[in-house]
Amino acid sequence: MALEPGRRYASALELAVEVERWLADEPVRAFREPWLNRARRWMRRHRLAVATVTALLTTSFVALAVGYVLVRKQRDLAQQNAAMTRQVIEHFLIRIGDDRWSQVPQFEPVRVEMIDQAVALYRQLLEQSPHDVSLRFDAASSLRRSANLYRMVNRFDRAQPLYRESASLLEDVRRERPGDQAMATKWVELLGDEADATLRAEGPAAAEAKCREAYEVASQTRKDFPDSVAARLGEARAQLSFAETLQQMGRYAEAIPAAQAAAAICSEVSDGEPDNLAVRASTVIAWNNLANMTRDAGQLELAAAAQKEAVERGRANVRSTPAEPNLRFTLAAALVEQGRLYRAQGDRGDQALDSLNEACGILETLTAEFPSAASFGRRLADALTVRGELYLEIGRLPAAGADAARAVEIAERLEQQAGGAAGYHWLVAFAYTLVGKAELMQGNSLAARASLVTAQTRIAMARKVNPDGPRLIEKAAEVESLLEQVRTTKTTF
């Protein structure tokens, strides 16, 4: 009914669509809803998630509050109450790390905030009892959990100081508890976490020393405690991180044996503990990483065998526990690498596309449900780049361009969130290379040049922290060749 044409519906069809939106409890174009209305709609559509969060928050915060009140009311029993409070906080932290939390969509920032409160309480207790060895051990574990959550949401700037603070506390405990098995395995876990964070944030050259230290300490810990499952898994994980670091630098002869040993350990433990979701996920990652590095090394038969193991285990995991996001993610990661392998084998383009389509579908769902989980977004950008390259090969240029644009958007967002972390430069570079190739194949030389120059800049940045990386060297040569094609092609406006 508005007098101005721009303020009313252009046709009866548009009005009908708006009415259908309103009846379906969806946003309408007629006005911008207040945030409270949008929140209510979200809650109506996610009743299970809201109920889960409410229940877990209530029980967790009540438990934490009770523990804190106990301490305040009985100051004369400080040592006893500090131990009681630590027990409550630890129970709280276990709830935060529980698999149920990881299945609540878009809940990662809340988990970070909650664990930060627990860390703050531990720091207060440390001020009151600075010489309590058990307190320092528990506080170190809390700090490590907090650092891991910050790493998960791409905040390396917050994660790394927490790792160092945790290490400082554990160093004190190690001196006072030599030969303690729990202490030894926690130390291995911390070294592995810090090494992995360094690899993601700063690249393989910076991470090599930390990864080697974690590997050596983990190997010794396993020798000291041969019957400990935690020690065996700690060694496997350290081997995987060390192998990935060596792979990125092109040192396949060292990387592959470490990855093979890690996959064997993970498989043995996983088969013996089928209910352990974390071990099942780690086993898929181990086989997948082995497949990736053997493919990079040109050992396609070994790669095919490892890839088959990764995909089969990944599918079995999802069949048994379909809602678990980390199991879905590891299956998607295995499918991305399967797509890469099919391309490398030749004449398997249809199978490669099927694998990549399935992987991208899983990853799109995960990134929508868990937008703060950096690993989901990073793998999706990688998968889109691989699929975009395949689309170029089969002549589907619009599809390649769409994948390229989406990959660039995700990669740049992750790089920005991580404060320009070096570990993302290659991802941005590869996505922009795909954009440039797609533009060039469509005759858009000017746009192609801009994208390729950006890719070239990011590759140069990535090579500052990994100068000998074979994939970076190969990509740099490819971009230079494409820029030469642009220079000899008539510019398109």
Q: What is the tens place of the pLDDT at every residue in 26-66?
A: 666 666 566 456 555 655 655 555 555 555 555 555 555 54
pLDDT in tens, 359-388: 999 999 999 988 888 899 999 999 999 999
> How many other CB atoms sit within 10 Å of the CB of residue 368?
11
Would you state the pLDDT for residue 56? 53
**Of all helices (H) and strands (E), which one includes residue 94?**
helix 78-97
Residue from 34, 32, 30 nearest 15 by CA: 30
Q: b/e per residue, 53-81, with b = 16+ CB within 10 A?
A: beebeeebeebbeebbeebeeeeeeeeeb
**In this predicted structure, what is the pLDDT of residue 23?**
65
Is the CA virtual torsion 426, 330, 278, 151 positive or negative? positive
Q: Are 323 and 307 in contact (CB under 8 A)?
A: no
> How many angstroms separate the CA atoms of 337 and 169, rounded?
40
pLDDT tens per residue across span 173-224: 888 888 889 889 999 999 999 999 999 888 899 999 999 999 999 999 999 9
Could you say which residues of the chain have pLDDT below 70? Answer: 1-7, 9-115, 490-493
Domain limits, CATH 1.25.40.10, in the chain: 371-493
Q: Which amino acid is at 97?
A: G
Cα–Cα distances (Å) from 475 to 51, 267, 402, 456, in that order, read: 48, 34, 21, 9
Tokens of 179: 């030969």
State residue 82's pLDDT score: 52
Tokens, residue 391: 């689309």
Homologous superfamily of domain range 371-493: Tetratricopeptide repeat domain (1.25.40.10)
| Structure-block tokens of residue 74 | 């009985």
Question: What global pTM score does this model have?
Answer: 0.77
